[in-house]
Structure 1
Amino acid sequence: MVDDLVESAVMQMVERPWGITAFGAASVKAVPDLVRVRFKIVRMEQAPAAAFEAARAAVRAVRGALREHGIADAAVEGSRLDLKTATEYVDGSRKFVGYQCQAAFAVESGALDDVEPLLVDIVAAGANEIEGVDFDVIGKRELRAEARRKAVAAARAKAELYAEAAGVRIGAVLHVEDVDPEQPGASRYRSHAEAAATTAQDLAPGHIVVSAAVILGYAVARD
C-alpha cells in the first residue's frame, strides 16, 4: 500500500512521462580579430553656435586621427551633432550652465595591437568620453554553429547515459528546443572576452567565448 502511494506521488510530479529529456551546453573559444571602440565628443559653450563649432572642430580632429591609424571612414559610425541645454542644481534650484553639443562614434578595427595608441590619439584629438572597448571575432556565426553542434552532442550523450542507467535505449528525437545561455534561469554562459594578464603597456583582449545550449527530447526505444 505504501509503495503504491509513493509511486502515485512520483507520477504526479512527472507532467509528461513520454521519454527522456536532456540539456546540453557547449562553448567555443577563439582569439579575437576585431575591436570596437565607442566614444563621444562633448563640448559645452554659453551659446549654441559656439557649442556646434567647438564640437565640429573636435570631430574633424578625431576623424583625422582615425585616418592616421588606417581606419577608413566606412568603419566609423558617427551620429549627427546633438544639442541640449545643460543645467545644474545650485542652492536647491536649477541653474543654466550652457549648451552641450555632442557626437557619438563607434569604430571597428582589425589592428588589435594598435588599440592603446588609437585610444591615446583620439583622446588627444578631442574625444572626452570613452564608453567601451569590446573585442570580438568576425566569424562569430560559424563559431556559434560549432557550439550548437557540440551542445547537441552533449545533450545526446547525457540522454544515452540516462537511458543506459535505466536499462533502456533512446529512440527518435521528439523535441529540439534552443536555449539562450544568457536568459534568466539558464546556465551563465556568455560571449565575452575572458580575463587575461595585462601590463601597463598591453591592453590584452584575452579570448572570445561563444556559447550555445539545447534541450533534446527522445522517445524510449521499444525492442
Structure 2
Amino acid sequence: MQMVERPWGIATFGAASVKAMPDLVRVRFKIVRIEQSPAGAFAETRGAVRAVRAALREHGVADGDVQSSRLDLKTATEYVDGTNRPVGYRCQAAFAVESGNLDDVEPLLVDVVAAGANELEAVDFDVTTKRELRAAARRRAVAAARGKAELYAQEAGVRLGAVLHVEDVDSDSPYTQRYRSHSASSVDALEADLAPGHIIVSAAVIVGYAFARD
C-alpha cells in the first residue's frame, strides 16, 4: 500500500493549448552543384545563388529575411563496386527564408527551384505572436490546476490555502503526455490537436496548495 510520508496539502497538474492561424512561413533549401573542378563548382553555385536571390526579391522577400551560408566545397563521391570513388567537387549554399505572405508559398517554391535550388529541406509555418499565445496557454494551465485542486478540496472536506509550489513543465515532455488525459483542459487540448492548418501552443504546470487553517 502506498503511503504519503509527509502530507502537506494538494498538488495538481494543469495543461492547456491554444491555437492560431499561422502568419509566417520559414523555408529551408539548398543549392548543390557537382562539377569536375573546384572552380567550376564554385562558379555554377554562385550563378544559382544570384538567380535564387533575384527570384526571392521578385516575390517581395526582403534581403534581411534571407539567411544564406557561405559556399561549402567537398569532394563528391559515389559508391561503386564496394568502394567510394571521386566523381568531382560538390559545392553547396544553404538558405533559410522567412515570409509573411502565406498565399505566395507555392509560387515562391516553384520559382526558387526554377532559379536553381535543388534540395528542399523544410517548409514550416509559425505565428509571430507565439509569446502571447504561450502566456495565454500558461494562464489556462494554472486555472485548470486550481480548478482541479478546488474540486479535490471540496470533496475532501477541506479548504485550499496559500500556493506553496509552482513548477513549470515542458509541454512536449513525456511527463506531460502521460498526465495530459488527466488535465481539466484535456478537451481543449484534444480540439487543438484536431485543428488542421493551425499552430498549437501548449503549456503545463504543477501547482501545490496548503490546506487553509480555520
Q: Shared fold by TM > 0.5? A: yes
Aligned length: 202
Tell me the distance in 2 between the aligned counterparts of 1:222 and 1:124. Answer: 73
Structure 2 stretches of 5 or more lacking a match? 181-188
Greater RCO structure (CA 8 Å; 6+ sep)? 2
In 2 relative to 1, CA 60–194 (structure 1 residues): closer, same or farther, beyond 3 Å? Answer: farther
1:16-65 deviation digits (Å, cap 9, x = unpaired):
42110000001111111101011010001011110000000000000000
Could you say what the CA RMSD is over the residues aligned between the two structures, in angstroms? 1.6
| Structure 1 counterpart of 2:99 | 109
Distance 1:45 1:195 in 2: 46
Describe the SS at the equivalent of 1:44. Answer: strand
**Contact 1:84/1:101, CA 8 A, preserved across alignment:** yes
Segments of structure 1 that go 5 or more residues without pairing to the other structure are 1-8, 197-205
The separation in 1 between residues aligned to 2:47 and 2:137, in whole angstroms, is 46
1:166 deviates by 0.7
Q: 2:68 aligns with which of 78, 88, 94?
A: 78
- Return 90-99 or 100-109, whichever deviates more: 90-99
Structure-1 separation of matches of 2:213 and 2:155: 16
Q: Tell me the residue number matched to 1:46.
A: 36
Counterpart pick for 1:88 among 30, 53, 78:
78
TM-score by length of 1: 0.87
Measured after TM superposition, the shift of residue 220 of structure 1 is 0.9
Give the structure 1 partner of residue 170 of structure 2.
Answer: 180
User: By how many angstroms is 1:15 displaced?
Assistant: 4.6
Which residue of 2, 17, 26 maps to 2:16?
Answer: 26
Amino acid at match of 2:14: G
Tell me, in whole angstroms, the C-alpha distance in 2 between the residues paired with 1:78 and 1:151. Answer: 39
Distance 1:214 1:126 in 2: 47
Runs of 4 or more above 4 Å deviation: 192-195
3-state SS, counterpart of residue 185 of structure 1: helix
Tell me what 2:201 maps to. Answer: 210
Amino-acid identity (%): 76
Instruction: State the one-letter code of the partner of 1:113.
Output: D
